[in-house]
Structure 1
Amino acid sequence: MTTTVEITWDAASARRAERQFLAGPAGAGTPVAEVAGAMLGAHAQVLSAAEVSLGMRADGVTRADVRAALWDDRSLIKTYGPRGTVHLLPARDLPLFSAALTAVPSGPSPFPPGVRLTEEQAGQVVAAIGDALDGRFLTLDELSEEVVARTGPWAGDRVMPAFQDLWPRWRQVMHRAGWAGTLCFGPNRGRKATYTRPLPGNPETDPGDAPAAFVHRYLHAYGPATPQHFARWLAAPPGWATTLFGELAAAGRIEEVRFEGTPAWVAAGDTGFPEGPPRGVRLLPYFDAYVIAGQPRERLFPAAAYQRALGGGQAGNHPVLLVDGVVAGVWHQRRRGRRTTVTVEPLVRLTARQKRELGEQVERVGEALEATPELLVGEVTVGPHA
């Protein structure tokens, strides 16, 4: 009779920290793209947050290194990733992300019938975006003109509600162009973002097997996890995720374990865990991968952290202070020229060692952002996303 492996929260969080370079940073010279790959992408709606996510995980990495990887050697791609949000992804992984993300069933459109695109129209827009961006860098206005010219006036109808404005209809599937590999961000032109078509990659995974490969990558970084955890991280239909996990279990590709007394999954054979818990103090920015994917959320955000650092149960709204692998405070940085003031609000009493580590983390934030940091310990008075 097979005995199901029992895994504690401490062991799981310790392994997650190790595999995401939070137990100890990647050594000098480690490619930035390798660090991003270990996280399954760095959230980059705000580029400086992605720069901090990567910088806190790799010795000596600064925002200049991240931007060089994006715009010079192009080992990183800025595009739409999990949940349809902007991420920095390793260029070598783009074929896998594209095949996996396009395989996720789309949910019902949030827009009224008169605003929506049909599936045929959506396909036309995605193809038009790729054609327009092939070998070119276009601003959003320039891309909009090209899409309308290649599809029809219907694509340019300003009917899509967004930020107290109305956007052209075609923009509701812009993220799908990113998933399809026909669009990514280019370097800014002045204050305006530009878009281009990614360089073609060499897929190492059969597109038909991409969802399974993606589950393996996710479980390696964030397991043990349930189908519901995976669906939440990906913003995928829970029923689809449950079916996918069932197929992988039947094929012997994932293995059931007991995680804090409940069934969860790891990649088959990947049942080695440290004794845990992780030790040390870390500062993580908005929407860092560790807090977005870490489940169960009530264990990652214990006690007062659940109210202070989550927004309606959503992780990522506040930069967080981690102490021994769990959220134990929030922080905020305000930059003025070459200086940045980092205000940290701990929710627990820090030991002398933890205070020293906090000071080191603040110095690391400054190094990553190429700024001279100052630490203030006190209440963070700004709200989410500030």
Structure 2
Amino acid sequence: MLPATLTPRALGRALLARQLLTERARMTALDAVEHLVGLQAQAPRPPYFGLWSRLADFRAEELSALLLDRSAVRVSVMRGTVHLLSARDCVQLAPLTRPLYERAVRSRWRAELAGTDPQEIADAGLPLVRESPRPAAELGTLLQERWPGRDPRMLSQVVRHLAPVVQIPPRGVWGRAGAPVYAAAETWLGRPMAKEPCVETVLLRYLRAFGPASVMDAQQWSGLTRLGEVMERLRPQLRVFTDGSGRELFDVPEAPRPDPELPVPPRFVAEYDNLVLAHADRTRLIDERDRAHLASRNGQVPGTVLLDGAVCGTWQTGESRGAATLTVTPFRWLSDAEERELAEEGERLLAFATGSPGSSGSTGAPGTSGTGVTRTVSFTAPPRT
């Protein structure tokens, strides 16, 4: 029997259900972080917005507490990017994704490292961050004493690429500022890195959170290569579908695959959210013509707006002199009803963004926050195509 074919809309509904975006879930922040296999976190605030859009009554202080008590941590893993992970996932995913960083070091600093073993630099840097957490600049300066003439920024980055290190608070804590400070992962977390992380387990978790998906999708999400071999080992326990191009899509049997016509509420998806980054083929969520609106030269990924389960625009917030604004830039002209729906959800987002650290954004009179900040949601004209 030939595998069933799934339309982009069916794939989109499956993805949104697994991403907790068809309705807000009632689970702890830690459970959500683990279910999602982490949240991309180059900037400190996006993981908070990512959980706010997915969890009922989410409060920022819940996630901050996880960072402060070391149940969660900021660390570079999939795709060579910073993610917010549970401590349990950190010790598995950091060793598993290390080959990405080994390749990056070899390609980026080949000339600068000529005659020097980058692993030797990493091995020299690890005791320094075990001794005391250090900012990147301080770490580079100390390493330069051993490698005079080398760029201290490069030396620091080699350690951060090849040694098991994590970013520690106050970086990532809601309402607090601070440049990244690095500590040895095993010292900070009080547990060792996995010596033989299981790629099969991670791939199954990816499918539960992002499937159905192709091998190329899984490789796009993780940055790892040769996952076709892993998928073949898993094939007997998976369901297999195809997309409109005949490409094989793999899935765990028990994962939700809702009706393609399932109603989906409007959502504001965080900057850098894996929802829009975790597939090679993203037509399940966004029209290929609209992907150009998300591209930027410096690698930034804007917050995105979902209507009827599809990306239809971008959003950004701003605060100045007691006023908070949410600006929505749609990719197409919106109906009055669509603008009203987005404005209502936008009010709730601004209430969360401008509230106290513990605010869920679920209360407060329209247009004002508990801190007396005026809130405004505005819409710009669609960009020219």
Which one is further off, 214-223 or 128-137?
128-137
Cα offset, 1:253, TM superposition: 4.2
Contact preservation (8 Å) 1:62, 1:367: no
Instruction: Give the distance between the partners of 2:97 and 2:131, measured in 1 at CA.
Output: 24
**Residues 336-351 of structure 1: matches in 2 within 5 Å?**
336=320, 339-351=323-335
Instruction: Give the distance between the partners of 1:337 and 1:92, measured in 2 at CA.
Output: 42
1:199 is matched with: 189
Cα offset, 1:62, TM superposition: 3.8
- The residue type equivalent to 1:291 in the other structure is V
SS in 2 for 1:233: helix
- The residue type equivalent to 2:71 in the other structure is S
Instruction: Give the distance between the partners of 2:143 and 2:231, measured in 1 at CA.
Output: 38
Instruction: Give the distance between the partners of 1:26 and 1:338, measured in 2 at CA.
Output: 32
Instruction: Give the distance between the partners of 1:126 and 1:261, measured in 2 at CA.
Output: 45
- The residue type equivalent to 1:317 in the other structure is V
Whether 1:54 aligns to 2:18 is no
Contact preservation (8 Å) 2:80, 2:101: no
Instruction: Give the distance between the partners of 1:218 and 1:45, measured in 2 at CA.
Output: 20
**Residues 246-261 of structure 1: matches in 2 within 5 Å?**
246-249=232-235, 252-261=236-245
User: Deviation string for 1:80-131 (max 9, x for gaps)?
Assistant: 121111111112211221232135684363335321377x833333333432
2:67 is matched with: 70
User: Deviation string for 1:124-167 (max 9, x for gaps)?
Assistant: 33333432223632222332344456xx316x7118xxxxxxx2
2:380 is matched with: 378
Cα offset, 1:170, TM superposition: 4.1
Partner residue of 1:358 out of 336, 342, 366:
342
Partner residue of 1:282 out of 258, 264, 267:
267
Whether 1:185 aligns to 2:181 is no
Instruction: Give the distance between the partners of 1:153 and 1:209, measured in 2 at CA.
Output: 33
Q: Normalised by the size of structure 1, how large is the TM-score?
A: 0.80
Contact preservation (8 Å) 1:277, 1:325: no
Partner residue of 1:241 out of 227, 231, 237:
227
- The residue type equivalent to 2:147 in the other structure is P
Which one is further off, 330-339 or 46-55?
330-339
Instruction: Give the distance between the partners of 2:320 and 2:24, measured in 1 at CA.
Output: 27
User: Deviation string for 1:350-377 (max 9, x for gaps)?
Assistant: 4555334312321232233234431011
Instruction: Give the distance between the partners of 1:223 and 1:67, measured in 2 at CA.
Output: 29
Instruction: Give the distance between the partners of 1:351 and 1:129, measured in 2 at CA.
Output: 56
Partner residue of 1:220 out of 203, 208, 220:
208
1:164 is matched with: none
**Across the two proteins, how many residue pairs are aligned to each other?**
356
Contact preservation (8 Å) 1:225, 1:295: no
1:157 is matched with: 150
**Residues 7-156 of structure 1: matches in 2 within 5 Å?**
7-27=6-26, 30-71=27-68, 73-102=69-98, 106-107=102-103, 109-111=106-108, 113-116=110-113, 121-134=117-130, 136-148=132-144, 152-153=146-147
Instruction: Give the distance between the partners of 1:248 and 1:14, measured in 2 at CA.
Output: 24
Cα offset, 1:209, TM superposition: 5.4
Instruction: Give the distance between the partners of 1:337 and 1:61, measured in 2 at CA.
Output: 27
Cα offset, 1:325, TM superposition: 1.7
- CA 1:53–1:105 in structure 2 vs 1: closer, same or farther (change >3 Å)? closer
Identity among equivalent pairs (%): 20
1:163 is matched with: none
Contact preservation (8 Å) 1:291, 1:315: no
Q: Normalised by the size of structure 2, how large is the TM-score?
A: 0.80
Gaps of 5+ in 1: 160-166, 382-386
- CA 1:58–1:268 in structure 2 vs 1: closer, same or farther (change >3 Å)? closer
Instruction: Give the distance between the partners of 2:136 and 2:48, measured in 1 at CA.
Output: 24
| Deviation >6 Å, runs of 4+ | none
Whether 1:229 aligns to 2:226 is no
Which one is further off, 223-232 or 331-340?
331-340
Cα offset, 1:329, TM superposition: 1.1
Instruction: Give the distance between the partners of 2:92 and 2:300, measured in 1 at CA.
Output: 25
- CA 1:192–1:316 in structure 2 vs 1: closer, same or farther (change >3 Å)? closer
Cα offset, 1:283, TM superposition: 0.9
Contact preservation (8 Å) 2:238, 2:251: yes
Cα offset, 1:3, TM superposition: 4.2
2:302 is matched with: 318
Contact preservation (8 Å) 1:139, 1:192: yes
- The residue type equivalent to 2:203 in the other structure is V
Instruction: Give the distance between the partners of 2:89 and 2:272, measured in 1 at CA.
Output: 21
SS in 1 for 2:108: coil
- CA 1:5–1:333 in structure 2 vs 1: closer, same or farther (change >3 Å)? same
- CA 1:146–1:254 in structure 2 vs 1: closer, same or farther (change >3 Å)? farther
Q: CA RMSD in A?
A: 3.1
Query: Whose strand fraction is larger, Structure 1's or Structure 2's?
Result: 1
